[in-house]
């Protein structure tokens, strides 16, 4: 009878070789593997602690990990981390690592909802209208879904007027308010683009004007192509994906 061939993994083949090719040799006990559920809990805790501040409420849910994932148990407690400059979005990634020499590291996808009290209009407002406390109310919203920014303090309304009309029950955004311009058309600005945790910078020229949080077009000085961006500070914009 033709002998049956047994496929062996690299680790199993090595153990077989160390035993001199004898299956009766007592093999080392299998190493414990890191719990997938434990990794998900670390990812959720890391993201929650990164974004929860006064006035924020985070709801996080880590994706289920591939059932085939086999990570050796870490002698030390695995550590989770998020880039300090990471901005909240509905889909995030937390890097978890085993903090020992030659330790493993993985990225765990996590769904994020970050709730914060923002200002919402009580009634319609017209272009040029001043905005006071009587025109708005504070309401909890998921800011990961507010791609155009938001206003969360009455102090941000001082000396401001509406730059365009808005309907009732509209979240006030910096772009909806006039009166100040952090970036003006023609200004040279630094553009930041963040892709999968990697930050890329380039210089550009603003094609419009706006306050912090306003959306405008910026021409990339290297490629000459215009891109959509959000004003983050004087001379600094973040390219939109």
Residue 97, pLDDT score = 95
Backbone φ and ψ for 19, nearest 5 degrees, come out as -85, 10
Q: Residue 236 has which token pair?
A: 């600094």
| Host H or E run for residue 38 | helix 36-51
Q: How far apart are the C-alpha atoms of 106 and 8, rounded to whole Å?
A: 25
* 116-178, CATH topology level: Type Iii Antifreeze Protein Isoform Hplc 12 (3.90.1210)
| pLDDT tens figures, 75-97 | 999 999 998 778 889 999 999 99
Fold of 188-239: SH3 type barrels. (2.30.30)
Pairing between strand 188-195 and 236-239?
A: parallel
The answer to whether the pTM exceeds 0.85 is no
User: What is the Cα–Cα distance from 239 to 137, expressed in whole angstroms?
Assistant: 30
Residue 85, strand partner residues: none
- Domain-by-domain residue ranges, the chain? 36-114, 116-178, 188-239
pLDDT score, position 205? 95
Picking from 119, 132, 114, 115, the residue whose alpha carbon sits closest to that of residue 171 is 119
Burial of 77 (0-12, 13-18, 19+ CB in 10 A): exposed
Q: What is the pLDDT of residues 43-75, one digit of tens each?
A: 999 999 998 877 789 999 999 998 888 899 899
Task: Work out the pLDDT band at 147, boundaries 50, 70, 90.
Answer: confident
Counting residues of the chain whose pLDDT is more than 70, the rounded percentage is 84
């Amino acid at each position: 009878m033709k002998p049956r061939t047994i496929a062996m993994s690299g680790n199993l083949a090595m153990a077989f070789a160390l035993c001199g090719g004898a299956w009766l040799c007592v093999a080392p006990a299998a190493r414990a593997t890191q719990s997938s559920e434990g990794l998900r809990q670390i990812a959720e805790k890391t993201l929650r602690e990164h974004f929860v501040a006064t006035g924020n409420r985070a709801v996080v849910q880590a994706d289920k990990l591939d059932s085939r994932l086999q990570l050796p148990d870490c002698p030390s407690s695995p550590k989770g981390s998020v880039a300090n400059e990471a901005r909240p979005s509905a889909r995030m990634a937390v890097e978890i690592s085993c903090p020992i020499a030659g330790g493993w590291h993985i990225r765990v996808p996590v769904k994020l909802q970050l709730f914060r009290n923002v200002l919402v209009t009580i009634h319609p407002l017209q272009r040029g209208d001043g905005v006071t406390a009587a025109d708005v109310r504070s309401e909890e919203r998921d800011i990961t879904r507010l791609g155009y920014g938001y206003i969360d303090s009455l102090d941000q309304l001082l000396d401001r007027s509406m730059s365009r009309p808005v309907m009732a029950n509209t979240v006030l955004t910096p772009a909806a308010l006039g009166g100040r311009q952090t970036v003006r058309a023609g200004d040279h600005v630094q553009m930041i683009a963040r892709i999968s945790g990697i930050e890329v910078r380039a210089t550009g020229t603003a094609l419009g004007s706006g306050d912090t949080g306003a959306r405008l077009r910026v021409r990339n000085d290297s490629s000459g192509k215009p891109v959509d961006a959000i004003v983050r500070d004087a001379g600094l914009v973040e390219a939109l994906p």
